[in-house]
Structures are given as structure tokens and as C-alpha cells.
Structure 1
């Protein structure tokens, strides 16, 4: 799944900007994860120089350009959230383990990231 960035609202300043952490308005990026909670929907996109693991963005600021969901993705509903992501990221505690530097979580993150970037065209196209 790929999306085109329509606008960026700076996370700290709450003002529109043209680029932030390698994501720019008009650029096309692979989606790494989608998270819905209550009425809010966010997506994690991978830019060419986005710091790991990237930020969750308001899905309303993007439009879909490729609807294909990557193989191995699953939909999980738990803890009041709906998550669509690679199955390796869906295990309980994955993001906590990732942020604590657990080797398995770091390896799973890197493997999925490489797969997503390899399947995507060059950044911004």
C-alpha cells in the first residue's frame, strides 16, 4: 500500500509545513502500519531518511495511490485499537520491545522495513 502526502502539520508547532523528517508534500511513500482508535486513524509511512520507527500521521493528510496490502499483513483488534500491519509487528508488546532495544523486535522491524522499501518505487515518485 502506498500513499501520497497531501499536507503535513508539524507535530510540535501545529502549522502546515512542506517537509518533515523526510516526508514531503506530494511525495509517495509505503505505508508501514495503520492504527485506528475511536474515530482517529493514523498511518506510519516510510520516507527515505525517516528516523526509525517513524511517526504516525493523520490518515486524512494522505491519499491512496496503491491499494495493494503487502503479503503477511494482518488485522488485529485489541485494547481499543485496530491495527493493520505485518504479522511480525502484531505480537503483544512488539513496540514496547522495539523501544527497549529487544533484538528480536529490532530484527523484525528492520526485516519488514526492508521488504516495504524494496517493494516501493524510489521516494517521492
Structure 2
């Protein structure tokens, strides 16, 4: 495995808002929105290994709920936990895009 100092979507030393936490027996992942100056102009939230980050705040957004699925735990808005939500989002379905935008704004406002 190669260690790199930066990636177009993530930079060392910057703070990122976690939109969702996914955990299973072997791994914890954070869903993080792209940086404002990202090389990709599309708002595509990425999943990143939590081990890459130092948690600087233990505040949880009010809209997060715990969900159990496929042997894992998810902390995220309930709307995002429905089966097929992320597929709908990445397929650019209006309802999913609207839910993402609204709840992302709420999560960031609470930071």
C-alpha cells in the first residue's frame, strides 16, 4: 500500500464535515462531501476510511439516526438509509438529489 500526502478530494490538515458513518466488523468509513475547490465540479460525496482522519468534534447532527443493515451500522439521516438511496442519488434522480442537498445543508449548519 502506498501512502500519499494528498488526493484531489482530500488534503492533509484540513477539516471535513462527516455526512454519514458506516461501520462493520472490519472497517469504519466516513462519507465526506468534496472540497469547494475540488477538481470535480460535481457534488459527489466520497467514502473514506475513518483511519485517515482525526476526529476533532464529537457532535452528532440531530438528523442522524442509527440503522442496522447487512451486518453493519450506519449513522446518517433516515432518508439516506433507505435501500437504493445512493443509487438514486448517483443516477441523479430529483427526489434523492433534493434530500441530499437539504440534509447535507442541515448537517453542515450544525457543525
Pick the TM interval, shorter chain. Answer: 0.7 to 0.9
User: Greater relative contact order: 1 or 2 (C-alpha under 8 angstroms, separation 6 or more)?
Assistant: 1
Is 1:69 the counterpart of 2:60? The answer is yes
5+ long unaligned stretches in structure 2: none
Is 1:113 the counterpart of 2:98? The answer is no
Structure 1 runs of 4+ aligned residues shifted over 4 Å read none
Normalized per residue, the structure richer in strand is 1
TM-score, length-normalised on structure 2?
Answer: 0.82
1:53 to 41, 44, 57: 44
CA RMSD of aligned residues (A): 1.8
Aligned length: 107
TM-score, length-normalised on structure 1?
Answer: 0.74
5+ long unaligned stretches in structure 1: 1-13, 121-125
Give 1:61 deviation, angstroms.
1.1
